Amino acid sequence: MKIKTEAGERHVLAITVDNEAGVLAKITGLFTARGYNIESLTVADISSDHALSRITIVTNGPPPIIDQIIAQLDRLVPVHRVIDLNDAGEAHVEREIALVKVAGTGDKRIEALRMADVFRAKVVDTTLSSFIFEITGTSDKVDRFIALMRECGLVEVGRTGVVAIARGPEAL
């Protein structure tokens, strides 16, 4: 017997929660307990009184599962709101930051710097034999930059995961 899995679609969820101990564990635990996917997760305190945090989760699943994820998150006691930024008509902006360390000398070093310029990546640290680039953009753009850097002496990558916000004047 084979265990079947269903194909999914990518969704970005913005969740506001009480900024208190255990909330993140509650949310990530919900995903593992119910077998949902997390592609990326970011969290930070966003309110002036430090009472609220915003979590951005990129997940994927078939539409009924995405609906379930939202409903399950929504009923957790410390969760204030859950927004599916992929909902129809709700265009949104997504950004991710990566720090990319490239080591090497000679042509590869020059090529790395040139491509960083094309991608509008900033040099935030340099030695005679290395650069650290800071790149901001969609996950796709960051992926493409990292793929190119593999050819130019990539040694280390750190990524923040996606933060996202809906376009237009309305707040979440």
Partner 1 sequence: MTEMSGADMVVQALVDLGVDTVFGYPGGAVLPIYDALFNHPSIKHILVRHEQAATHAAEGYARSTGKPGVVLVTSGPGATNAVTGITDALLDSIPMVVLTGQVPTTLIGTDAFQECDTVGITRHCTKHNYLVMDPDRLGPIIHEAFHIATHGRPGPVVIDIPKNVQVATGTYSVPEFIQHNSYRPQVDPDADAIAKAIDLIAAAERPIFYTGGGVINAGPDASAALRQLVSLTGAPVTSTLMGLGAFPSDDPKWLGMLGMHGTYESNMAMNRADLIIAVGARFDDRVTGRLDAFSPDSKKIHIDIDRSSINKIVPVDLAVVGDAGRALDALIAAWQAKKLSARDYGEWWRRIDGWRATRCLDFPEKKEPNAAIMPQRAVKALFDATRGRDPIITTEVGQHQMWAAQHFGFAAPNRWLTSGGLGTMGYGFPAAVGAQIAHPGRLVICIAGEASLQMNIQEMGTVSQYRLPVKIFILNNEWMGMVRQWQELTYESRYSNSYSDSLPDFVKLADAYGWTGLRIDTLGELEAGIATMIDTPGPVIVDCRVAQLANCFPMIPSGAAHTDMILQPNDIVGTMDDEAKALV
Which residue stretch of 35-43, 60-68, 114-122, 161-169 sits at the interface with partner 1 (rule: CB under 8 A)? 60-68
Which residue stretch of 53-61, 77-85, 89-97, 110-118 sits at the interface with partner 1 (rule: CB under 8 A)? 77-85
Pick out residues in 11-30 that bind partner 1 (CB under 8 A): 17-18, 21-22, 25-26, 29-30
Cα gap 124→44, rounded to integer Å:
23
Residue from 74, 87, 117, 140 binding partner 1 (CB under 8 A): 74
Pick out residues in 129-148 that bind partner 1 (CB under 8 A): none
Residue from 42, 72, 130, 138 binding partner 1 (CB under 8 A): 72
Residue owning tokens 């909902």 = 87
- Please report, for residues 21, 54, 69, the alpha-carbon distance to residue 18 in angstroms, rounded to integers and kept in the order given: 9, 9, 19
- Smallest gap from residue 165 Cβ to partner 1 (A): 20
Q: Is residue 9 close enough to count as binding partner 1 by CB under 8 A?
A: no
Cα gap 38→53, rounded to integer Å:
18
Cα gap 135→145, rounded to integer Å:
8
Collapsed DSSP state (helix, strand, coil) of residue 78: coil
- Smallest gap from residue 23 Cβ to partner 1 (A): 10
Q: Is residue 78 close enough to count as binding partner 1 by CB under 8 A?
A: yes
Phi, psi dihedrals of residue 41, rounded to the nearest 5°: -145, 130
